[in-house]
Structure 1
Amino acid sequence: MVEVTKEGSNILFNVKGLHKLWAFKSQLQIPAAHIRSARQDAEAVKGWWKGWRMPGTSIPGLFNAGTFFKDDRRIFWDVYHQKKAVIIELEHEEYDQLIIEVENPEAVIALLSSPQTA
């Protein structure tokens, strides 16, 4: 699970608990201006193939965490409960996309979509 907070003009993505170990990452800091969109999409998180994992952890159909390469895109995954997954499109960043599980998807989407954030 990932906790999302705003700190000045940056958005902090804090990976929680053992997910840090599985994802090989504890935090991402991204300028709010580099976030293009945030949404939920049940179809996008389904399926067993998430891409080439480097580094990370994957138990197909159950859990994905870490860096994955798919369709010439670098994607950070941290999802156990797919219903709580948020897909975040980025530009000018190390990752092209974040697909993360959060406690309250609607609140995170609202935070990332607010005019002050963009």
Structure 2
Amino acid sequence: MARITIDREQATLTAEFQGLDKLWTLKSSLEIPLAHVRGATHDPGIARGWMGLRFAGTHVPGVITAGHFRHDGEHLFWYVKNPDKAVVIQLADANTYDRLVIEVDDPRATVALIERSIPRD
């Protein structure tokens, strides 16, 4: 599971990966400027569909999807073992990813945290 934190002072969202999860995702963390976060949703169904083409990472169907994937022209970062806990974070103006699909401990609380933290015009 990833830990999502918001640093309001630095205006960043950070997803941290622990232990072997760093190996599967090929990353220890992702840091995204809050200005690039458009929103978040709890979406268990997304992890049950086709993830796209894997560029780097791990995919064992029904076990884990982790790393960089490309689907319908979008660059996605995946880290999901349990689809019921998947949160989708939509990004704009991002240099690397269009969406993050990340498993978290409490999807509803994570979505609420992200939604109340992103800047609104």
TM-score (norm. length: structure 2): 0.90
Structure 2 counterpart SS, 1:16: coil
Segments of 5+ residues of structure 2 without an aligned counterpart are none
Distance 1:16 1:101 in 2: 13
| TM-score relative to the length of structure 1 | 0.92
Find the partner of 1:108 among 107, 110, 116: 110
In percent, how many aligned pairs have the same letter?
41
- Residue 66 of structure 1 aligns to a residue whose secondary structure is strand
> Offset of 1:28 from its aligned partner?
0.8
Partner SS state of residue 25, structure 1: coil
Unaligned runs of 5+ in 1: none
CA distance in 2, matches of 1:105, 1:42: 10
**Equivalent position amino acid for 2:63 in 1:** L
- Secondary structure, in 3 states, of the residue corresponding to 1:44? helix
Aligned length: 116
Match of 1:5 in 2: 5
- Counterpart of 1:55 in structure 2 is 56
> What is the root-mean-square deviation of aligned Cα atoms in Å?
1.1
Moved over 4 A (4+): none
Distance 1:76 1:64 in 2: 9
